[in-house]
Chain A
């Protein structure tokens, strides 16, 4: 960062009026919008602007003069100038009046002009980007959602079944309008799927931990198990264990005409309240076969 006095070309003793005058003189010469093709001038202009901001602030100037702060860190946030937008094709302000007369004399130019006018008319509208959160089950089963647009109005979005976080839906022609008679831009919608409190998804399979009672595990049972499309009856084989995985065919995610499965992992739960009868039975129980679940660890 240069010395702001040097940048503005004023003495350390300059009055605020002298500083302002020096700044205005330089700014007139260096303003980027009056020098649209010159990057160097733009940098210089920013330097001059921040030097002026710096020295117009009496407190900053006093501290700088006293050597308390240096000239760094006073740059304004990135400022975009008109010229940064003015180069876009089809923008409303561009004028051909400076060279339109060439077309009368030169076929090549007439051609160029016709093509430019044609392109400007046909220029597409801008694409617009949105982010949409959907529930886990909406993502699995598909859903219809609405997005409220910042410029007013609503956008209907059909969520196809089986969508995943990070996928982007493209709605053709739902973006910004064309400045001329061209097509509207597209709307791009990035999907974020909220997690579910008991389902999880792995590819096209749904996984679920299903708690069962000791009795259901030991004797077998038919229990109600949730799936994304509602409850189904699940047959628990006699003697099931925690960790046993049962497959519910085609109860997973439908994608590309194929269904995934739901994988139900059983979790045997002990009763949460004291059970004197069970305790009494277990203390007198002598297993008929060797029963050592940790034998493989020895």
Chain B
């Protein structure tokens, strides 16, 4: 979806979005010089709002939490892949 649609959906103003993107809290991709938002960007924006509004996290805190979460998800998928590789090798061993 395009920027106006995104802003309306998550109820965000343009100035705040600009800051979030500068802070790298959000990284929508660009096509033909225009920002395009995916579902993951919407979910991430809602998480940021949850952190700020419902959990009383301040702005530096949001940055820290997002950074840690991105690492957690990186670790989760690396772990998932590692497990997949182990199971494959395990199966190959058994076949021999």
Chain A residues at the B interface, C-beta cutoff of 8 Å: 24, 27-28, 31, 33-34, 36-37, 80-89, 91-99, 112, 116, 150-152, 177, 179
Q: Assuming A92-B27, A151-B2, is B74 touching A84 (CB within 8 A)? A: no
Q: How far is the CB of B72 from chain A (nearest CB, A)?
A: 6
Beta-carbon contacts under 8 Å, B44-96 to A: 44, 46-47, 50, 54-56, 65-67, 69-78, 80-82, 85
| B contacts with A: majority SS | helix
Q: Which residues of chain A have C-beta atoms less than 8 A from B77's C-beta?
A: 87, 89, 94, 116
Q: Which residues of chain B have C-beta atoms less than 8 A from A112's C-beta?
A: 78, 81-82, 85
Query: B2 and A99: CB pair below 8 A?
Result: no
Bound Cα distance from A28 to B50, whole angstroms: 10
Judged by a CB distance under 8 angstroms, whether B15 is at the interface is: no
**Other-chain residue from B39, B65, B73 in contact with A87 (beta carbon distance below 8 A):** B73
Query: A86 and B81: CB pair below 8 A?
Result: no
**Other-chain residue from B47, B65, B74, B80 in contact with A81 (beta carbon distance below 8 A):** B47
Tell me which of B1, B2, B72 has the highest count of chain A C-beta atoms within 10 A of its own C-beta: B72
| A contacts with B: majority SS | loop
Query: A86 and B73: CB pair below 8 A?
Result: yes
Known: A81-B47, A93-B40. 12 other contacts (CB 8 A): A24-B54, A34-B65, A85-B39, A85-B43, A86-B69, A88-B40, A93-B44, A95-B74, A97-B71, A116-B77, A150-B1, A151-B2
Query: A151 and B74: CB pair below 8 A?
Result: no
Q: Assuming A112-B81, A112-B82, A112-B85, is B55 touching A24 (CB within 8 A)? A: yes
Judged by a CB distance under 8 angstroms, whether B36 is at the interface is: yes
Q: How far is the CB of B90 from chain A (nearest CB, A)?
A: 15
- A35 (CB) vs chain B CBs: closest residue: B72
Query: A99 and B78: CB pair below 8 A?
Result: yes
Q: Which residues of chain B have C-beta atoms less than 8 A from A98's C-beta?
A: 71-72, 74-75
Tell me which of B27, B34, B67, B69 has the highest count of chain A C-beta atoms within 10 A of its own C-beta: B69
Interchain residue pairs with CB less than 8 A apart (29): A24-B54, A31-B50, A36-B73, A37-B76, A81-B43, A82-B46, A82-B69, A83-B73, A85-B40, A85-B43, A86-B40, A86-B73, A87-B73, A93-B40, A93-B73, A94-B70, A94-B74, A95-B71, A96-B78, A98-B72, A98-B74, A99-B74, A112-B78, A112-B81, A112-B82, A116-B81, A152-B2, A152-B34, A177-B31
Q: Which residues of chain B have C-beta atoms less than 8 A from A96's C-beta?
A: 74, 78
